[in-house]
Amino acid sequence: MLYIVFLTGVCNLRCRYCGGTIPEEVMPHEIEYSVDVLKEFVMKDEEPVIAFYGGEPLLRIKKMMEIMDTVPAKKFVVQTNGFFLHQVPRDYLNRLDAILVSIDGIREVTDFYRGKGVYDIVVDRVNKIRSSYRGDIIARMAVSEESDIYRDVRHLLSLPFDHVHWQLNVVWAPDDSWHDFDRWVNGSYNPGITRLADWWIEEIKDGRIPGIVPFQGVIKRMLFHETGLPCGAGRNAFAIATDGRVLACPIGGEYEWNNLGTIWNRTPATLRNSVEIDEPCRSCDIYNICGGRCLFANKERYWGMEGFAKICGTVRHLVKEMERARKVIEELIEEGKYQMQDFNYPPFNNTTEIIP
């Protein structure tokens, strides 16, 4: 299973869509349990994956290194804003199987949402580690009204990233944070997904599989018949807060449904399949692909049912475009130009939620 370990609630940035540091009343800023207790809990799982999270986890590099030295997880992942990547010792850097770096697209978009100068710092830090890091570097976008999905994904793929993933800024954002969501979806986002899918399909025909995680992840679910919530929240992925609480989802540690106990009174075996997706998702005709999209959004529905349905419309459009891609991919596999395994991405739960 996947364990998303909060190293700190502190962040050095204050992005428009996030707010920065987690309030201490939601989660203590520093880890309050011993790493040996974490090891005892995690090692009851035969295939543990640990993902370091925050706040900004690389503000606590020494704590990350201590956990990596103490807990023999099968895989290690970090989600970071990238500012301190160059400070991670090379031997620890290369023990990370995937690094997710927050960057929202071109310089103007990234700096608008994350702060002036952030884009240049992040790109510089990624360039500093690229030559020595052997794992998967994933650009992780938060997509909002200033974003152009085609332009920004293509731009990030031109940088030293292996993959690009994105999440729409609709889970935790109030609906009044958008000027005109409908207009943006119909005039920019959905047409951009179509255009991006067109390009992706042509690249695949030419022998390349560009690293677009939502496309690859959906195709994987189609080809390998994977089901359930793609991120695994509450099913086979859990977050461990700095005070030792176990959360179904790393977002929203203050919600009662999200608190499942602690690392002292729960075990991996008793946590598995703890929280289920509610209706209307389970009765949806694309539930086998989407899996409910997002546990937090399914439970909280900040935008109400009308807004919930609008977001589902973006997923339907993505799935429709990937059905088109799937037909081409299956033909190419049948012709022997690819093998099924070529489309097995991600190979493990690397915290990319798949459905934006």
User: For residue range 274-294, what is the model confidence (pLDDT) as tens digits?
Assistant: 999 999 999 999 999 999 999
pTM score of the predicted model? 0.97
Is it the case that residue 173 has pLDDT exceeding 90?
no
Region of poorest pLDDT, from 48-52, 92-96, 252-256: 252-256
Q: Which two tokens stand for residue 191?
A: 């047409």
Residues 6 or more apart whose CB falls under 8 angstroms from that of 263 comprise 33, 37, 38, 41, 240, 244, 246
Q: Which two tokens stand for residue 76?
A: 């290690």
User: What is the chain's percent helix, strand, coil content, to nearest 5?
Assistant: 45, 15, 45
Is it the case that residue 183 has pLDDT exceeding 80?
yes
CA 342 to chain centre: 21
Contact 164, 213 (CB under 8 A): yes
- Residue 20: pLDDT band (50, 70, 90) is confident
pLDDT digit string, tens, across residues 28-77:
999 999 999 999 999 999 999 999 999 999 999 999 999 999 999 999 99
Is it the case that residue 175 has pLDDT exceeding 90?
no
> Cβ–Cβ contacts within 10 Å for residue 4, how many?
23
- Distance separating alpha carbons of residues 274 and 259, to the nearest angstrom: 10
Contacts 24+ apart (CB under 8 A), 322-329: 322/197, 322/215, 322/218, 322/219, 322/222, 323/222, 324/197, 324/201, 325/197, 325/200, 325/201, 325/204, 325/215, 325/219, 326/219, 326/222, 326/223, 328/201, 328/204, 328/205, 329/204, 329/219, 329/223
- Residue 296: pLDDT band (50, 70, 90) is very high
> Cβ–Cβ contacts within 10 Å for residue 131, how many?
7
| Average pLDDT taken over every residue of the chain | 96
pLDDT at 302: 84
Is it the case that residue 10 has pLDDT exceeding 80?
yes
Q: How far apart are the first and last CA of the chain?
A: 22
- Give the 3-state secondary structure of residue 339: coil
Ordered structural domains, the chain, with CATH: 2-343 (3.20.20.70)
pLDDT digit string, tens, across residues 306-347:
989 999 999 999 999 999 999 999 999 999 999 999 999 999
pLDDT at 17: 86
pLDDT at 23: 93
